[in-house]
Structure formats: C-alpha cells, structure tokens
C-alpha cells in the first residue's frame, strides 16, 4: 500500500525508493445525506416496505438510501439482478419522495462467504431457514447473492457496492496460543481464493466492491486490508468503506487512515462512537452489553469522532461518494437519531471552493517575470 503526500498541485506517491507523479487531486463536494436502512427495518409502518421508508427518510431531509439487499421488505435481489424494469420501478418510488437509491449492501451475505466453523451456528441466522446447518450450501447461496448485487448495481446505474469479507482467522485475532508460522499468510491466500471469482464478476459488470473494515471480519483494519489486497494480486475492484466508529473502538488513528488509504476509500458510513476505558474494562469489554462497554457506538454528535476533520479530509482528497448515516446507538432512540442525523450530515458537508482565496492578488502567467523573481 502506498503512502502519499499532498502538495499544492502535484501528488508524489512513494513506493520504496521510486517516486511517481500523479495528476492533481480534484476536490469534490460529498453527496448526501444518505441513510442505511438496515437498522430501521421493521414490520411496523413506516419501516415495513420500501415506499413507506423512502417517504419517511425523505421527509427528514435524506437524499439517498443505502439498501440492505437481504431484506425482502425493501428489495427482491434476484429480481433486481435480472430486471432493469424492476429497478426503474424502485428508483421511481424513491424519486417520488426526493430520494435516490445511493448504494446497495450485502453485509450479511458477505459475512457468509467465509465462516469459520467456530462461528457457524452464530451466523446461521443470516441465511434462509432451509440452508441452516448446511455450511456448504449456505456459502453457495451467499456467493450467488453477492454476485447478484453486482448485476443489480448495473441495473440501478450504480458503480460500487459494500459488503463484509467474512473471516477464517478471527478466532486467532489475539496471538495466544501463539499462531503457527504461516497461518496468517495461508488464511489470507484462502480468503482471496474464495473472493476472486466474485471480484472477477464485479469486474465484468464494472462495479467496485467496498469492504467495510469491521471487527469480526478478517478485514478489520488497514494492515488486514493490505494483506487481502496483496493476496488478491491487487485486484482493481477491491475498495474500502470508511467507518471511523470502528477505529475509535480499536484505538486506531482514523484521520491518518484517510491520508494513507484515500485512494481506496469509495464509501463512507457516518457513525459516531466513544471509548472510555476504566480500571475494570478496556478494548475487550468484559463480555458486557453495549451500554456498559468502554467502547460503544453513539448517535451522531454524541460520541468522540471528529467529523469536521473527516469531512475536510475526504473533500480535499476528492471523495466522490455518499455520506451515509449508519445509526447504532445503545442509548438514543433510532427515530431521534435519524432525525438529528440528517441535519448533522448536511451541516458537515463542505461545498468545495472553485477558486483560491487569494486569487484577487494574483497576476497573469509571465515566464519573464518568473525568471526575474528567481534572479535568472
């Protein structure tokens, strides 16, 4: 993975001892606010079908929705993958309420692409009832689901989707007992082998696949993302969903993370968190419920994430995606979180400038003058 330094008009990218010039970064205004529908799905209106929830989020000021493709109350994934007419119908429903279908999510299906037997029973609930207690058929189903998301994205006119990587190694995240030599390399090679046909399918449809770096997944921080990228021969469709809340809980520098990986960040979950360690509990949380853990997710503005700095960095680096609320709070009600979240995101979106603040003092290009100033 490269490191980069941003100068006023040229980015110098460093690989070992080689320097390469790249085109200047074009700053962009982030799209939004958008909202991830997964945490709001319910059998009670207005959360019980796609039209009702679009009407509700539109009334709150959201302009986009990230759709959980496993939830049949909102979308028939197979139909979306095979019918442009159906996708146009869903787009029309959303547009009626001033909302776009911004992104598609396959988090739960992606989780089932790679499951260690230790966690098989716990993750069985992500699969259809008839596939439970059948890991082989469950994996086949999950792979097909994630592939259908690529086709659905094309039918919706989208160019990226988000998922989880699943995990073969999470049970070894803490190195006790000591991991055998070569275990991690083998693990990432096997994970890449599972995902390569899926990534090739995404490439065929022109869709980038963004992995959310998340505890419980083999891809949970920058190092593991790099390991997967290397094992996948730097597959061009591998990208990243940036969610600072998970980095707060890992005590990872979430601003430096943007500086390092901005070229790979294609999605953004706007989610707050806080980490308040004490003399009894820290990162691992003591098996406590969310409200009692030192690290816990909060509604926007109630946690410790510096969103002003995040929006500034992403805008400066030309992030061209959506700012999508993912509401997860152990204290505040979901409806209140959604209401406050739309305004919070809107207030943080920066309309990027199209001119320099000191243009009024500039002069026309003059090579003779430049040489004179340089004493030449």
- If pLDDT is split at 50, 70 and 90, which confidence band does 21 have? low
Containing 246, the helix (H) or strand (E) segment is helix 244-250
Task: Give the lowest-confidence range in 71-75, 150-154, 368-372.
Answer: 368-372
10 Å Cβ neighbour count for 223?
11
SS (HEC) of 253-304: CHHHHHHHHCCCEEEEEECEEEECCCCCCCCCHHHCCHHHCCEEEECCCCCC
User: Which of 119-128, 254-263, 366-375 is predicted with the least confidence, judged by mean pLDDT?
Assistant: 366-375
pLDDT, position 179: 97
pLDDT, position 366: 87
Q: What is the pLDDT of residue 242?
A: 98
Percent of the chain with pLDDT over 70: 93
pLDDT at 2: 46
SS3 for 322? strand
> Residues 170-203: pLDDT tens digits?
999 999 999 999 999 999 999 999 999 999 999 9
* 2 vs 92: CA distance, rounded Å: 42
Query: pTM score, two decimals?
Result: 0.92
Judged against a pLDDT cut of 80, whether residue 10 lies above it is answered with: no
The fold of the 26-373 domain, in CATH, is TIM Barrel (3.20.20)
Question: Helix, strand, coil proportions of the chain in percent (round to 5)?
Answer: 45, 20, 40
- CA gap 32, 320 in Å, rounded: 11
Tens of pLDDT, residues 303-317: 999 999 999 999 999
142 Cβ partners below 8 Å, 6+ apart?
109, 110, 111, 112, 113, 127
Taking the C-alpha atoms of residue 277 and residue 95, their distance in angstroms, rounded to an integer, is: 45
Helices (H), 63-160: 77-82, 84-95, 107-111, 120-123, 135-156
pLDDT tens, position by position, 198-239:
999 999 999 999 999 999 999 999 999 999 999 999 999 999
pLDDT of residue 356: 74
How high is the mean pLDDT of the chain?
93
Tokens linked to 88: 């146009």
Residue with tokens 């009832």: 129
Domain map of the chain by residue range? Answer: 26-373
Quick check: 83 pLDDT over 80? Answer: yes
Spatial distance between the Cα atoms of 250 and 112, rounded to a whole number of angstroms? 24
Which are the contacts of 56, defined by CB distance < 8 A and separation ≥ 6? 46, 47
pLDDT at 360 over 70: no
- Determine the pLDDT at residue 307: 98
CA torsion through residues 139, 144, 145, 150, sign: positive
Of the candidate ranges 8-12, 59-63, 208-212, 232-236, the one whose mean pLDDT is the lowest: 8-12
pLDDT at 6 over 50: no
Q: Given this model, what pLDDT does residue 18 score?
A: 47
Scored b (16 or more CB within 10 A) or e, 295-313 reads bbbbbbebbebebeebbeb
Lowest mean pLDDT among 31-45, 96-110, 284-298, 349-363: 349-363
């Amino acid at each position: 993975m490269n490191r980069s330094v941003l100068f006023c008009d040229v980015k110098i990218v460093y690989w070992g001892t080689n320097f390469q010039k790249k085109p200047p970064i074009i700053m962009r205004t982030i799209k939004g606010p958008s909202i991830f529908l997964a945490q709001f799905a319910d059998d009670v209106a207005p959360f019980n079908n796609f039209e009702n929830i679009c009407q509700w989020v539109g009334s709150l000021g959201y302009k986009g929705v990230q759709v959980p493709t496993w939830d049949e109350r909102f979308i028939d994934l197979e139909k979306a993958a095979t019918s442009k007419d159906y996708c146009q119908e869903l787009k029309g429903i959303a547009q009626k309420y001033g909302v776009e279908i911004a992104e598609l999510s396959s988090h739960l299906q992606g989780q089932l692409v790679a499951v260690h037997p230790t966690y098989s029973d716990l993750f069985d609930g992500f699969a259809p009832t008839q596939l439970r207690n059948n890991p082989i058929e469950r994996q086949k189903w999950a792979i097909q689901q994630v592939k259908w998301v690529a086709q659905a994205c094309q039918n919706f006119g989208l160019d990226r989707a988000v998922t989880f990587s699943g995990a073969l190694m999470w049970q070894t995240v803490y190195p006790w007992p000591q991991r055998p030599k070569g275990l991690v390399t083998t693990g990432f090679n096997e994970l890449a082998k599972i995902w390569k046909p899926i990534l090739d399918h995404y490439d065929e449809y022109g869709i980038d696949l963004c992995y959310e770096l998340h505890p419980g997944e083999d891809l949970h921080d920058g190092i593991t993302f790099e390991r997967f990228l290397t094992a996948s021969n730097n597959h061009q469709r591998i990208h990243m969903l940036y969610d600072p809340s998970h980095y707060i809980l890992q005590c990872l520098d979430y601003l430096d993370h943007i500086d390092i990986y901005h070229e790979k960040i294609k999605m953004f979950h706007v989610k707050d968190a806080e980490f308040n360690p004490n003399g009894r509990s820290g990162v691992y949380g003591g098996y406590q419920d969310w409200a009692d853990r030192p690290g816990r997710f909060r509604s926007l503005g109630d946690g410790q994430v510096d969103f002003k700095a995040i929006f500034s960095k992403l805008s400066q680096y030309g992030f061209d995606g959506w700012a999508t609320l993912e509401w997860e709070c152990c204290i505040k009600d979901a409806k209140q979180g959604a209401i406050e979240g739309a305004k919070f995101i809107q207030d943080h979106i920066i309309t990027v400038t199209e001119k320099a603040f000191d243009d009024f003092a500039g002069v026309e290009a003059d090579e003779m003058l430049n040489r004179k100033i340089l004493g030449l």
